[in-house]
Structure 1
Amino acid sequence: MVSMRDIADRCKVSVATVSKALNHHSDISEETRKRIQKAADEMGYYPNSAARALKTHRSYNIGVLLNDKANSGLTHEYFSAVLQGVKVEAESCGYDITFINTHSKTMTYYEHCKYRNLDGVVIACTDFECEEVKEVVNGTIPTVTIDYVFNSCTSVSSDNVKGMRDLVRYVYEMGHRRIAYIHGEDDSEVTKQRLTSFYRTLEELGIEVPDEYVKSSEYLNSVKAEQFTDELLDMKDAPTCIFYPDDLSNTGGLNAVRKRGLKVPRDISTVGYDGIKLSQMLSPKLTTLRQDTMEIGKKAAKELIAAIERPKTTLVKRVIVEGTLIEGETVRDIS
């Protein structure tokens, strides 16, 4: 294995100079740095991670805590896309990714983080009220959350307020006044933001929403979405448009509509959320709000690495990432 000593001998410099050059220290000239880097590449030099950890007191390893209620894990297109953004940004900064064991019976999440000597943790799609999750957030390891806000760490989330406002206003402009909403779990921060924006926007537009138009369901639960769609379609004054908590749940709504011999959007209009690829492969293409998953993930990693590398100058903040309205074909113009 090639060592810094080998590179130093070849370049006729000290080991200290090689170390500074490979770590981009400012007191080494650009000419010397390039010469040493060229020699290192030609000789097949790779830095020793254990040695680097001893010197920097960092493992260059970021943990990811992912444990959603639906147990969909990486099969969940939204969160897998977010985590791809985390991975791309982390790796570009020289960090590896480790998934935290959420099924261990011998260690808590925090103990697993310490055991793996993680430099920081990204927490996404989990039960944020869980005591083990709170232990990670309140511990000594830098943490960033996705789609949930704690006072003690930075959070990154999609702009759920603006996203829902854009969808409601679009549907309103298409002539709809009887608008229903099947939403996700009541205790979800995302649900609270979207539901408040839903009510607030319709209030601004002078539309009163009957209580029976709003159904509390679960994210990624197409079965419940189908059940609640049936209930809404059975109403005397049935809505002309139904909002769903996510694009996958919308498929349950489509099943309920088709069972009755009805069609979207001819007989009922539907709206999803997330903008997953499947939503635009359906016929008709779904009207939805595409979240910028890659940017959410990249910003989460960037904020976490800043907290790891520059803790004295990094502030706790709330980072909001805007999404994009996709008009699709599932909202009929009845204006």
Structure 2
Amino acid sequence: MVKEANKITYSKIAELSGISMATISRVMNNSTNVKEETRRTVMDAMRQLGYDTTDLEAIAAKSNDLLIFNIPSLDNPFYSLIIKGAKASAERNGYNMLINEDPIDDRSIDTFIALLKKTNAAGILSTNCISKQNLMKLDAILPIVQCCECDPSLDIPFVTIDDVSAARNAVEYILSLGRRRIAFINGPLQYKYARDRLKGYLEALEDAHIERDPDIIIQLQEINYDMAVSAVFQLLNSEKRPDAFFASSDVYAAAAIKATKRTALKVPRDIAIVGFDNIELSSMCSPSITTVNQPKFQLGLLSCEMLIKRICKEQIPIRSMYMDTELIVRETTQKQSPISRSPLQ
């Protein structure tokens, strides 16, 4: 490779790029002691002089073996299996992964970019909600792939689910149980999942000719169990008491069970509950939670595979991937069997 480059000569590259021959030599030998901006300038000059830099770029990309996985919160158990899936893909492909728990917004974007440069990261995986402007800014710096959250209007690959369809199906199931006053517990609307699950909930009600009631839609600003318990308890003690809850998170569904137990009501006799995500908590609760299963491990695995292909400049067959969901029926919606009594009773 170096011999082929020498046919062009370092001096010609230096003349065109304005970079010293010593630095050009470090780029050619894939030294880590070169700024990424300088490396790009040298590569651009080499391409202008007719040199195919594909192999050299692939080697440079592979030497940067750190992936940054940006998530909104480590407190949310939903992300644990996604992280495991992403790490499995990273390890299999020879990459390391750094978990970053920070928002990416106009106030923090420069700090995050500084982290990318300081760690010499090869690419970004994110489950965070990021504005279109900041997504474009990050994509111009490093390969990025979105997981769960996404912006379909941009040419940035993502792996997610159809939250609208999944929510609509869940509410239709609750309606099939004969419940008509279905409350909704939802998360922050800046997230795609919250907006789309709200949309699916409302579509199911509209299809069933049930009027929307804003008073039974609980809109929370974070995934917080205690806040959800308090909000559900207040609603259960109001004049507009629902006969079912659809929750955009299993954490909220567990909170609905807790709040119901504080009243004289029973789950599922009086209150049916359906959650979302199928985290471990959903099967551990008593009663266990009927919930929408997301293939969390696969979401992390496939989004990381996409990212590595982008880093290695491979063609991605599918840039927008929607994975299937499944409704897991458990005790919070199952009909209770009547208690059998002996003739003497």
Q: How much does 1:149 deviate?
A: 2.1
Partners of 1:117 and 1:173 in 2: CA distance: 54
Q: How much does 1:318 deviate?
A: 2.2
Structure 1 counterpart of 2:311, from 294, 308, 312: 308
Report the CA distance shift for 1:218/1:53 in structure 2 as closer, same or farther (over 3 A): farther
Structure 1 match to 2:333: 331
TM-score, normalised via structure 1 length: 0.74
Structure 2 match to 1:96: 96
Structure 1 match to 2:144: 143
Structure 1 counterpart of 2:125, from 122, 138, 141: 122
**1:63 alignment partner AA:** L
Report the CA distance shift for 1:173/1:93 in structure 2 as closer, same or farther (over 3 A): same
SS of match in other structure, 1:272: strand
Deviations 1:96-137, CA, capped at 9 Å, x for gaps: 21234859x9x721121122222211012x352498x54763
SS of match in other structure, 1:108: helix
The aligned runs of 1:235-246 (5 Å cut-off) are 235-246=238-249
Deviations 1:193-216, CA, capped at 9 Å, x for gaps: 111111112212222221212121
Report the CA distance shift for 1:261/1:278 in structure 2 as closer, same or farther (over 3 A): same
Structure 2 match to 1:267: 270
CA contact (8 A) 1:121 1:304 kept: yes
TM-score, normalised via structure 2 length: 0.72
Structure 2 match to 1:225: 228
Deviations 1:216-259, CA, capped at 9 Å, x for gaps: 11342112212221232133342110112211122322222111
Structure 2 match to 1:322: 324
The aligned runs of 1:1-335 (5 Å cut-off) are 56-58=59-61, 59-68=63-72, 72-73=73-74, 75-100=75-100, 102=102, 108-124=111-127, 126-129=128-131, 134=135, 137-150=138-151, 151-310=154-313, 313-314=315-316, 317-333=319-335
Q: How much does 1:67 deviate?
A: 4.3
Partners of 2:132 and 2:253 in 1: CA distance: 29
Q: How much does 1:293 deviate?
A: 0.4
In structure 1, the gaps of 5 or more residues are 1-48
Q: How much does 1:180 deviate?
A: 0.9
In structure 2, the gaps of 5 or more residues are 1-30, 33-54, 337-345
Partners of 2:198 and 2:324 in 1: CA distance: 17
CA contact (8 A) 1:62 1:122 kept: no
Report the CA distance shift for 1:100/1:279 in structure 2 as closer, same or farther (over 3 A): closer
Deviations 1:35-55, CA, capped at 9 Å, x for gaps: xxxxxxxxxxxxxx97x9998
Fraction of identical pairs, as percent: 25
Q: How much does 1:166 deviate?
A: 2.0
